[in-house]
Structure 1
Amino acid sequence: MADKVPLLAQSTCAYCGVGCGVDIQLENGQAKAIKGSEDHPANFGRLCVKGSHLLDTIDLSGRLLTPQIDNTPCDWPTAVDHVADKLARTIEQYGPESVAFYVSGQLLTEDYYVANKLMKGYLGSANIDTNSRLCMSSAVASYTMALGEDVVPCDYQDLEQTDLLIMVGSNAAWTHPVLYQRIERAKQLNPDFKIVVIDPRRTFTSDIADHFLQIKPGSDAAFFNGLLCYLANNDGLDQQFLLRHTDDAEAAITAASEWTIDKVASYCQVPADSLTDIYKTFCQVDKAVTFYSMGINQSSSGVEKCLAIINCHLASGKIGKPGSGPFSITGQPNAMGGREVGGMANQLTAHLSLTDSAHTAAVQSFWQSPTIASKPGAKAVDLFQKMANGEIKFVWIMATNPMVSLPNRALVEQALSRCETVVVSDCNEHTDTMDFATVKLPATSWLEKDGTVTNAQRTISRQRGVHSPAGAAKHDWQIVSDVAQKMGFSGFDYQSPHQVFVEYAQLTGVAQQFNRVLDLSPLASLSTSQYQTMKPVQWPLNGQRPFANGKFSTSNGKAKLFAITPKAPVQQTTQALPFVLNSGRVRDQWHTMTRTGKADKLGLHQTQPEVMMHPFDAEQKGLSQGELVRVSNDLGHVIAPLNVSNTVRVGELFMAIHWNQQFASHANVSQLYQDVVDPISGQPESKHAPVAISAHPFAYYGTIQSKQTLEVQADYFVKSIGQASFQTNIAFETAPQDIFAWCKESTQLTGEWLSQSSENGTYIVCLQNQQLVFIGYFANAPIALHRDWINSLFAQNLLSLENLHLLLHGQISEEFNLGRQVCSCFNVREKTIIEAVKTGCNSVDKLGEKLKCGTNCGSCKAELGGIIKEHAPTFVIKDITSPETA
């Protein structure tokens, strides 16, 4: 009998805004393998390491599988009745402004649309905001102000077709690896293609740069004002374009006129000759793209920074044509879809305005809703401030973890503690935010969700439900619709995401009377089967490039330039807080790790949070590599190992955002940022916090690996998952009197316990039927445990006496002494790569031929290039650094 041929399902990756298509092989209805879709226009078969390991995150461990009220399980009718009643009673007693929704770029467009419709059209408030506020709302505001509509005027092909690419505030090699690989290949094919990378931190993205500017944090607007000044003084303005298609150019150019190259060089702390080369190139090329992300947006003047970028493209006419434009890259899989349907508090659906009575009347008429919000609601930070002040009594949080991602964690905790009703819809039972929920509603996760997402180049893709919902989980649009109907509202009797999508597409057609580029009305005629089989489609659906005819979405059809005065960050250093803290992402983790934290291979690249510091500062402070340090200010503190690295500037620190309370006791970096926001966009300033740093010695340290995850009591911990075991690094302010007894009592494990002590520390092992179930190393100083070797021992059925002897004496098998993992796909380690480089593998391709690293997802290619730079004997470094770090 012939074997059954596995079925294939197509869906979309759950991570960043690139929106990669994925092919999922199914066996007996279950996902068994995943790869990039070769025919998807976002990735053409490429997939980064996170996407490649999506199937490692879909097990039911930690899933919320049934509704709960006050931590007591209940059925759906009871939960829906309770939420509907609380909503109605809160509005009746305090008014519609007393309720709020806080949603997420992890939602599908259909989820977003229904939640937005209920809040703005039926509850009568615009208090619905999204975690997308934290990553790209400054870009949204600037596009709307300058171009008349929130339309990204570029697509991914522009990154390959341009003559000059300026990447600013983006570590695309790690945050958008698939796009980075497309850029890298384009440069290989076109030697004349020039790349500029601008970042306060030297990241792997800078490895492909012709010019790398290690700019002073927060000074980006000055760089682009300087570019505009140079264009005006060197025949770089497109006078015809400015005259026919823009307004207020003279004021913008006048404001930029004082920003000479020397002034910009001094203000930004970068070499003047580098600026001259970059400005000259931008002036002379026919096509240029500025590619920017959180480093620009997450600022107290993020909108003005974005406008300064747009000014340069409008002034030079490098917009609305192939290979040119200001390209804001989004961070979440459906941040763009959320923008389309008005998911933020200052938006109305279909790119319409809450403050335009004609717009609100048109939407209310289409919805046939009893009311309509007519003013912007509370943006994310304001929303939680109002909650803390007692103004918001009911909040519904969907698919996001604000306790970890919002600034000023203490205020968020106060807000959630004070709010009378906290409803959380999530697929995870345990998150930092879920601890405050009075109502927990189980939502579907990726691979169960069914609907659409829109990526950063305006391409709509289907995210298909391959698995049935786990337990009692429901789709978010279903949950919201059930509550709306229970409240007596009509217009929410949807039976499928197809019905929601069709309604939304119809509404974009209604919006055409207001001159919108967004028009999905041709898709409103899709049948159910056509929706199910829908291929990726980019808007505008007519295939035209946005603004290609020079006509913009403003009332007179002209784009607008803005006079920009560069502003310093609000959060400034002091004598007591002398260091600037920057934050961002690491390669293999995502947001607050509720998904990627479940994938063992994704945890190997960086097993714990760390604080990055320049060697000069470390020497001045008497701090050394690997020791635990405390980074603090008036808002709180974090504790993590120190990574001494010249990739950061003198006087600056860097720490990743990902680690939540489930994985680390003291690593929530967002708590160190004040709730300072851009006055227009409301986006927090999450790249610039004043902090102090000092050593934080503990009395006693330990590293544990165990067969099962353990909840041990310690003053400090960091957890990570391995392929066969769980690792926990711990520390104590006061050493336990008897560490052997502590281990037995803390773990509650039964079996054969063994211990060995020496001057280096104490080694404790527990065996069950000669199989390893626990190993702990304890000492008066931080101790390293070789997790990969020990993982291999946990995977064995029987532990040999030889390996037991090695364990109890803190030794490892020589074959595992190969350094940290660089390539997650093929488990290729640093020492192996270094040896290959020294023996002649002086290119990424040669390393791939010999070791396979970099040949699958490609996420490690930039890091491989860095190792080659460091260890290949004939490599010449050409990057340009700031005077401080040269």
Structure 2
Amino acid sequence: MKQTASTCCYCGVGCGVLIEHDGQHIHNVKGDPAHPANLGRLCSKGSTLHLTGDLAARALHPELRLGKSMARNRTDWDSALGHAAEVFARTIAEHGPDSVAFYISGQLLTEDYYSFNKLARALIGTNNIDSNSRLCMSSAVVGYKRSLGADAPPCSYEDIEQSNCLLIAGSNMAYAHPVLFRRLEAAREANPAQKVIVIDPRRTDTCDVADLHLPLRPGSDVALFHGLLHLLLENDHVDHDFINAHTDGFEALQALVQDYPPARVATLCDISEAELRQAAELIGKADSFLSLWCMGLNQSSAGSAKNNALINLHLATGQIGKVGAGPFSLTGQPNAMGGRETGSLSNLLPGHRDAANAEHRREVADYWGVAGLPEQPGLSAIELFEAVRDGRIKALWIACTNPAQSMPDQQLIHQALSLCPFVIVQEAFSTTETCHYADLLLPAASWGEKEGSVTNSERRISHVRPAIPAPGSARGDWDIVCDFARRLEQKLRPGQPSQFAFARPAELFDEYKGLTAGRDLDYSGLSHALIDGLGPQQWPFPAGSRQGTPRLYTDGRFATADGRAHFVAEAPRPLSEPADSSYPLVLNTGRLRDQWHGMSRTGTAAQLFGHVERAQLSMHPQDMQARALEDGDLVSLSSRRGTLILPVQADAQLRPGQSFLPMHWGNRFLKGLGSNRLTLSNHDPLSKQPELKQAAVEVTRAVLPWQLFVLVEGDVQQRFAQLRELAEVFDYLSMGLVGRERPAVLLRAAAGQAPDAALLRQLDAACGLDTPQALSLEDSARQISKRIALDGQRIIALRLSGETLARDWLRKLWQDADDITDLRRWLLAPVATPPGVSAAATDKTICNCMNVSQSRICAGIEQGMQLEDLKRELGCGTQCGSCVPEIKQLLAKTAVPA
């Protein structure tokens, strides 16, 4: 067995991984103890990377569709890229360079990003290139640039251990950045004097480490930060010397925050005045103050103002540029930072330059050896898809992202994609919702197969190394882009030397890094080989350096023209869509512990559905009671943009009037275009980042008495696709995978009335239930039908329709391979409640790493076990540790017999 050191492909923590493989297949993955980002730790997603990426879900060969009504057919790379170059050249000639656009991804490598940027701006001559980082980090970009002069997080992960007081705002670190949360937990244990404040409308698992949780009203963050600064001034907990020597604009901010006294802020934020004062006291008396934030601040129509209002607190207290202190945005995707560095937002250029700045355009044009760069501003994500729908964009290239799941207002996105004359999708997984619209599908290499570099949240650049070759005809993203660019060059600039004659990712890196030289992010001293020798390094790393820079602004000089940081004084803005009488609830969206983004990768691993296996809406019990709802009831969840049908569950960790829905569920897993059918495209005026975190909704009961439950093993990707297509007719449809050793497709559906019997026969055929050997029960009078397929004494497929009371009992028989005597008796003499059903409810997997269920943990607690006993006896919480907060919650509420 071989071992290759590489980097995880999930969140922006940038964990190092050791890939165990045989040169053809990946067999295991573990944390790299030598990587400074994670020091050997991995979360539940990272530790199961080797179980994801089912080949049956992969795009393996180029596929081309020559007409919108036709199916795609397999083709070769020469034909595929030749056709793409012909279409792009013709479109540019007829409609101009701004008639084409690129929508790329924070999961690309830096070298991939650079090739796309050079293609769009230097060859085609358009700034219409944007990234899905627009959806997660663009407000942080604006915040850093306005306050500090550059998009440069000034901190390091080690500041988490060294800080005296941490403020976590709009981030459920326990789920979104679990490895950093483990570091925080360890720091708290080592230093009980360390204080933690969590700001979040929900009480999440992250709040378990908090000394103070501020459950503010959604959208009131700016008012809260102004109120904190008001109190810091009142208590003389500001650093006047730092303000005078290193900042400007404080007088205007000081005048503004006088209008935010504690009583007013407590009302605006719906928190107590005592809580507000306690937070200000903890911050003001801290020797070192570190703030960590993520989507709760960024995904807002006031995201930039929220970022700047938080950074104001650091400038006012002088808590920046020193150990354990500073404003630290947590990046959502593995290389969103690399995308920002290479200029992969429509308003940026490589090397932290601005596309609107003529001098910056000249610098990049000169470096690339072209006459000039386009002056016309590029379209940001929302604007870009509006232009596609309106017909201004004629050809769209989408790479490594799934806008047909992740963008807000999904109806708009699906309309745009269906109307676009030519859509290229460059993707590793052929199963994404966006691939449905691809006229040309280009198979890309994925994690473990590609080489390049990524920059994590602390500015640390790691070398991503391949362990195995890409399957089928899949190629590296940079390789696809450069091959296409060389073909397009022949049409747009015939006879000229190619600007895309790159043979290896290292060559792209070496060309790109020259654009960083002398800039705030200077990493002109780095190379793939140097990183291999020294290990991952933080920028700036100018030529001649031997180590990176852990903290920025240690000398009090900032990246502005005059070297002074800027206070930003802005009044709060209301939510774009506040609750009202028609839509009285506020919907919040966020992450699950074990799933990633649109689930294109994690959705291929049945194990990762063990913790949460289907989309459910969480509501406060009081709001459910007012609507006569109980756990598990199907509801219609509606916003001004559409409706989803899904089950509801009570969650007392929410405030009344609020609801929560995970962001991951797309149209593959939940009928109705998924979670983002409900969200709105209103966006921040500066960052153009949409308000994905809040929307006004209403919830009503969905009366769907006819129910369907299907579970089937074997060829899960193929069966999943077949069943998803057949089940589209149902009003409610939820699909996923279950099982660890024997993965199976799980389908739940409901309708107002029974479907045509022919559909059930088709479902049975897709599941192998159409054989005479299948056990069956037919009750046509009650429109109830049940079929079960056995392999010896083991269930391998089952279908319940009409009513599904036995679903949990049968699933337990399938899972545990129990004695099926009761099964035959139940089918011969059916009863409403099958044997043992009351005790056989679906058992949630709390610890995915060690496969420990909730029932086993609760049984141990009832025997008197504490956390360390459970770890020792059951193994839960001993690997990635992501389950520890939930185990602690079970310990707190599970009664131990006297």
Q: Fold-level match, TM-score > 0.5? A: yes
Say if 2:566 is the partner of 1:560. yes
Paired with 2:431 and 2:532, the residues of 1 have a C-alpha distance of 33
Q: Deviations over 1:174-230 (max 9, x none)?
A: 111111110011011111100111111111111111111111000011111011111
Question: Which position in structure 2 is the counterpart of 1:718?
Answer: 734
Question: Which position in structure 1 is the counterpart of 2:774?
Answer: 753
Question: Which position in structure 1 is the counterpart of 2:631?
Answer: 625
Please identify, of 671-680 and 722-731, the stretch whose mean Cα deviation from structure 2 is larger: 722-731
Specify the code of the residue in structure 1 equivalent to 2:209. Answer: I
Question: Which position in structure 2 is the counterpart of 1:850?
Answer: 873
Cα deviation, residue 12, structure 1: 0.6
Paired with 1:156 and 1:15, the residues of 2 have a C-alpha distance of 17
| 1:700 and 1:781 in contact (8 A); partners too | no
Q: Residues 761 and 198 of structure 1: is their aligned pair in 2 closer, same or farther, counting only changes over 3 Å?
A: farther
Q: 1:142-157 residue pairs with structure 2 within 5 A?
A: 142-157=143-158
Question: Which position in structure 1 is the counterpart of 2:523?
Answer: 520
Specify the code of the residue in structure 1 equivalent to 2:184. Answer: I
Question: Which position in structure 2 is the counterpart of 1:879?
Answer: none
1:503 to 507, 511, 516: 511
Cα deviation, residue 678, structure 1: 0.2
| 1:701 and 1:783 in contact (8 A); partners too | no
| 1:702 and 1:782 in contact (8 A); partners too | no
| 2:795 and 2:813 in contact (8 A); partners too | no
Question: Which position in structure 1 is the counterpart of 2:50?
Answer: 55
Question: Which position in structure 1 is the counterpart of 2:338?
Answer: 337
Paired with 2:643 and 2:220, the residues of 1 have a C-alpha distance of 26
Q: 1:440-589 residue pairs with structure 2 within 5 A?
A: 440-488=441-489, 490-509=498-517, 512=518, 516-523=519-526, 526=527, 530=530, 535-541=535-541, 543-544=548-549, 545-589=551-595
Say if 2:757 is the partner of 1:734. no
SS in 2 for 1:487: helix
Cα deviation, residue 259, structure 1: 0.9
SS in 1 for 2:471: coil
Specify the code of the residue in structure 2 equivalent to 1:380. Answer: A
Q: Residues 804 and 374 of structure 1: is their aligned pair in 2 closer, same or farther, counting only changes over 3 Å?
A: farther
Specify the code of the residue in structure 1 equivalent to 2:633. Answer: E
Please identify, of 741-750 and 243-252, the stretch whose mean Cα deviation from structure 2 is larger: 741-750
Say if 2:88 is the partner of 1:67. no
Report the TM-score, using the length of structure 2 for normalisation: 0.92
| 1:818 and 1:832 in contact (8 A); partners too | no
2:641 to 635, 639, 655: 635
| 1:640 and 1:666 in contact (8 A); partners too | no
SS in 2 for 1:365: helix
Paired with 2:633 and 2:641, the residues of 1 have a C-alpha distance of 23
SS in 2 for 1:507: coil
| 1:578 and 1:690 in contact (8 A); partners too | yes
Say if 2:771 is the partner of 1:765. no
Q: 1:44-193 residue pairs with structure 2 within 5 A?
A: 44-70=39-65, 71-193=72-194
Cα deviation, residue 771, structure 1: 5.5
Cα deviation, residue 392, structure 1: 1.0
Say if 2:834 is the partner of 1:831. no
Say if 2:276 is the partner of 1:255. no
Cα deviation, residue 788, structure 1: 5.8
Q: Residues 326 and 872 of structure 1: is their aligned pair in 2 closer, same or farther, counting only changes over 3 Å?
A: farther
Question: Which position in structure 2 is the counterpart of 1:880?
Answer: none
Question: Which position in structure 2 is the counterpart of 1:776?
Answer: 799
Q: Deviations over 1:100-131 (max 9, x none)?
A: 10000110110001101111222111110000
1:867 to 890, 893, 897: 890
| 1:462 and 1:534 in contact (8 A); partners too | no
Question: Which position in structure 2 is the counterpart of 1:660?
Answer: 666
Specify the code of the residue in structure 2 equivalent to 1:466. Answer: A
Paired with 1:394 and 1:553, the residues of 2 have a C-alpha distance of 38
Paired with 2:357 and 2:325, the residues of 1 have a C-alpha distance of 32
Question: Which position in structure 2 is the counterpart of 1:822?
Answer: 846
SS in 2 for 1:39: coil
Question: Which position in structure 1 is the counterpart of 2:69?
Answer: none
Specify the code of the residue in structure 2 equivalent to 1:717. Answer: L
Question: Which position in structure 1 is the counterpart of 2:14?
Answer: 19
SS in 2 for 1:244: helix
| 1:818 and 1:831 in contact (8 A); partners too | no
SS in 2 for 1:616: helix
Please identify, of 179-188 and 538-547, the stretch whose mean Cα deviation from structure 2 is larger: 538-547
Question: Which position in structure 1 is the counterpart of 2:618?
Answer: 612
Q: Residues 422 and 290 of structure 1: is their aligned pair in 2 closer, same or farther, counting only changes over 3 Å?
A: same
Paired with 1:115 and 1:461, the residues of 2 have a C-alpha distance of 20
Cα deviation, residue 529, structure 1: 5.1
Q: Deviations over 1:678-701 (max 9, x none)?
A: 000000001111111101121310
SS in 1 for 2:515: helix
SS in 1 for 2:637: strand
1:682 to 679, 688, 702: 688
| 1:703 and 1:783 in contact (8 A); partners too | no
Paired with 1:104 and 1:35, the residues of 2 have a C-alpha distance of 25
Question: Which position in structure 2 is the counterpart of 1:789?
Answer: 812
Q: Residues 572 and 25 of structure 1: is their aligned pair in 2 closer, same or farther, counting only changes over 3 Å?
A: same
Q: Residues 741 and 421 of structure 1: is their aligned pair in 2 closer, same or farther, counting only changes over 3 Å?
A: closer
| 2:132 and 2:381 in contact (8 A); partners too | yes
Cα deviation, residue 429, structure 1: 1.4
Q: Deviations over 1:816-853 (max 9, x none)?
A: 768321111122121221232233323x3332122111
Cα deviation, residue 785, structure 1: 2.8
Say if 2:441 is the partner of 1:427. no
Question: Which position in structure 2 is the counterpart of 1:229?
Answer: 230
Q: Residues 86 and 811 of structure 1: is their aligned pair in 2 closer, same or farther, counting only changes over 3 Å?
A: farther
Q: Deviations over 1:682-733 (max 9, x none)?
A: 0000111111110112131021111242514340321121232221112123
| 1:627 and 1:782 in contact (8 A); partners too | no
Say if 2:670 is the partner of 1:670. no
Q: Deviations over 1:398-429 (max 9, x none)?
A: 00010111111111112112211111100111
Question: Which position in structure 2 is the counterpart of 1:884?
Answer: none
Paired with 1:112 and 1:327, the residues of 2 have a C-alpha distance of 24
Specify the code of the residue in structure 2 equivalent to 1:731. Answer: A
Aligned residues: 858
Q: Residues 392 and 760 of structure 1: is their aligned pair in 2 closer, same or farther, counting only changes over 3 Å?
A: closer
| 1:609 and 1:667 in contact (8 A); partners too | no
Cα deviation, residue 41, structure 1: 0.7
Question: Which position in structure 1 is the counterpart of 2:298?
Answer: 297
SS in 2 for 1:703: strand
Q: How much is the aligned-residue C-alpha RMSD, in angstroms? A: 2.3
Paired with 2:534 and 2:88, the residues of 1 have a C-alpha distance of 37
Paired with 1:116 and 1:874, the residues of 2 have a C-alpha distance of 64
| 2:769 and 2:798 in contact (8 A); partners too | no
Q: Deviations over 1:421-468 (max 9, x none)?
A: 111100111221111111111111111111111110111111111110
SS in 2 for 1:521: coil
Structure 1 stretches lacking a partner, 5+ long: 1-5, 876-886
Paired with 1:807 and 1:10, the residues of 2 have a C-alpha distance of 54
Question: Which position in structure 2 is the counterpart of 1:307?
Answer: 308
Cα deviation, residue 616, structure 1: 0.6
Cα deviation, residue 807, structure 1: 7.8
| 2:4 and 2:466 in contact (8 A); partners too | no
Say if 2:55 is the partner of 1:31. no
| 2:806 and 2:837 in contact (8 A); partners too | no
Paired with 1:757 and 1:579, the residues of 2 have a C-alpha distance of 43
Cα deviation, residue 546, structure 1: 0.9
Paired with 1:519 and 1:806, the residues of 2 have a C-alpha distance of 71
Paired with 1:13 and 1:274, the residues of 2 have a C-alpha distance of 39
Cα deviation, residue 351, structure 1: 0.6
Q: Residues 620 and 760 of structure 1: is their aligned pair in 2 closer, same or farther, counting only changes over 3 Å?
A: farther
Cα deviation, residue 534, structure 1: 6.2
Paired with 2:701 and 2:195, the residues of 1 have a C-alpha distance of 43
